[in-house]
Structure 1
């Protein structure tokens, strides 16, 4: 498989971003967003003020998207936060790895000193393993914080890592 090209999203990418967000959110198993969220609301969430939105594509086909932002304001704005979504058909093809690697590089370039994921659903074991591969540690667990459509109330993790150099 070829490595994806990762680039900043443009206004013309809204349909491609929605095509990724829609099935991920509708599944209801990884994001704490309403499964019936409207397209406009989902895109507004993804493109919220302060968010930098990126796309991963191969041969012009958008296979993933991620958001890079400050995790907090003021005295916490040195810690980055990201959210990643991969097209269901592209899972297992290294898209999330490429986006994570890219986001770590971009976070460093923007002066962030660490990165934190605030709400990683404990049943999302593929994501947890991937983030741990990239040096993230589970630093906290929120018991029963996520209402999973199949497993009921499950834990969510806070994951964190320093950005060296």
Structure 2
């Protein structure tokens, strides 16, 4: 597997992953009526942020199995704390794609001089993601009860998670 910066040419290959994740409705509170054109701005970061893709090696042109975006959590006086979001193709889940992207994102934030990484809204029923972040040292700082409406679980909490990089 190879992780590299995403290009605008990658967007048509990222879009099915983005759309499947958003339409499942279990991990992101993005609008459900996004199209391939209107969704690009929700995912493709501009500097100082960055969007990456994870490609499966051995396929011609590489098959995109996952993607992540990262950058400052807040502008101005808050830009020393980063944030990130991740999406894995449904058929690639359980293959280490999320972990590889997560480790890449943590290292990118370290290399860029961030003092920590804050996730603003990790859905508490997204057990695999919560476990992964905790395995990587993230702590749950708090949970906003009922802040996310899950199609499967109803109203569930959103965790605020943090990893110190100092």
TM-score (norm 2): 0.93
Unaligned runs of 5+ in 1: none
- The answer for the alignment partner of 2:51 in structure 1 is 53
Q: How far apart are 1:49 and its partner, in Å?
A: 4.0
What is the CA deviation profile of residues 96-133 of structure 1, one whole-angstrom value per residue up to 9, with x for unaligned ones?
A: 00000001111111111100110000110110000000
* Contact 2:53-2:66 at 8 Å conserved across structures: yes
* Contact 1:28-1:34 at 8 Å conserved across structures: no
Residues in 2 aligned to 1:161 and 1:93: alpha-carbon distance in whole angstroms: 24
5 Å-filtered alignment, 1:14-163, equals 14-50=11-47, 51-59=49-57, 60-163=62-165
Unaligned runs of 5+ in 2: none
TM-score (norm 1): 0.94
Residues in 1 aligned to 2:156 and 2:39: alpha-carbon distance in whole angstroms: 24
Residues in 1 aligned to 2:151 and 2:33: alpha-carbon distance in whole angstroms: 13
Runs ≥4 in structure 1, deviation > 4 angstroms? none
Residues in 2 aligned to 1:108 and 1:29: alpha-carbon distance in whole angstroms: 29
More divergent stretch after superposition (25-34 vs 50-59): 50-59
* Contact 2:142-2:161 at 8 Å conserved across structures: yes
What is the CA deviation profile of residues 13-38 of structure 1, one whole-angstrom value per residue up to 9, with x for unaligned ones?
A: 01111021010000011101122322
What is the aligned-residue RMSD (CA, Å)? 1.1
Secondary structure of the structure 1 residue equivalent to 2:15: helix
Q: How far apart are 1:144 and its partner, in Å?
A: 0.4
Residues matched between the structures, number:
161
